[in-house]
A and B are shown apart, each in its own frame.
Chain A
Amino acid sequence: DAGITQSPRHKVTETGTPVTLRCHQTENHRYMYWYRQDPGHGLRLIHYSYGVKDTDKGEVSDGYSVSRSKTEDFLLTLESATSSQTSVYFCATRQGREVNTGELFFGEGSRLTVL
């Protein structure tokens, strides 16, 4: 295991409330990612980080923000949750520079339900 911990693992919230998901890694991997997984869509990248305070948008970044103040922590924030953000969120890390050859290590996922 790559030592990736996501918290909380389950959360139910109401529309319009802020939500923060945390990803913590113990492997000192440089790259970290947030994906969401929905039926019929597979895993889609929300945001990623290539170093402390270095982040960039993925393909479904609207409504999400991220922060990475330490190598080991990558936070995903929903400023005002909507029902369309009900999903399972996965954090992943990668050690190497080459996205093409580096395997991703995934956390166990955080199931978020927005009512």
Chain B
Amino acid sequence: SQKIEQNSEALNIQEGKTATLTCNYTNYSPAYLQWYRQDPGRGPVFLLLIRENEKEKRKERLKVTFDTTLKQSLFHITASQPADSATYLCALAGANNLFFGTGTRLTVIP
């Protein structure tokens, strides 16, 4: 079965720096990958989708890359702000489902 790993449970960075989160997967070849943000006590909120034929996708301060050879996606937040503190989830598309990673909890320190 497919396995999805997000690089670490928690990541602390200084305000203004670039946060980089990693999503690795095995036993699977998804055509698309999505990233979600989840705040404590709330449901996940969709951020970005990237297709297998797209190397990079940007949205404001967010950038996602997708390397199907390495089976890895990188999620970057540039010029990070304390308001970016949250848990970020990657999700890979299956036939009828999205398979989610366990998430990385990002804390941006002022």
Contact = CB atoms under 8 A, between A and B. Distances in A.
Contact of A101 (B32, B95, B96): B32
A100 B96 contact: no
Interface in B19-34: 30-32, 34
A99 B42 contact: no
B72 to A, nearest CB: 17
Band of interface residues on B: 20 to 34
A26 B6 CA distance: 33
A43 interface: yes
B16 interface: no
Contacts of B91: 43
Contacts of B74: none
A90 B32 contact: no
Interface stretch (A11-19, A66-74, A79-87, A103-111): A103-111
Contact of A99 (B93, B102, B103): B93
A99 B94 contact: yes
B97 A58 contact: yes
Given A101-B49, A103-B49, A109 B101 contact: no
18 contacts: A4-B43, A33-B97, A42-B100, A42-B101, A43-B100, A44-B100, A45-B98, A48-B96, A48-B97, A99-B94, A99-B96, A101-B49, A104-B44, A104-B98, A105-B46, A106-B43, A107-B43, A109-B41
Interface of A: 4, 33, 35, 40-45, 48, 50, 56, 58-59, 90, 92, 99-101, 103-109
Q: Please give me the 5 A-B residue pairs with the lowest Cβ-Cβ distance, nearest first.
A: A106-B43, A103-B46, A100-B93, A43-B100, A42-B102
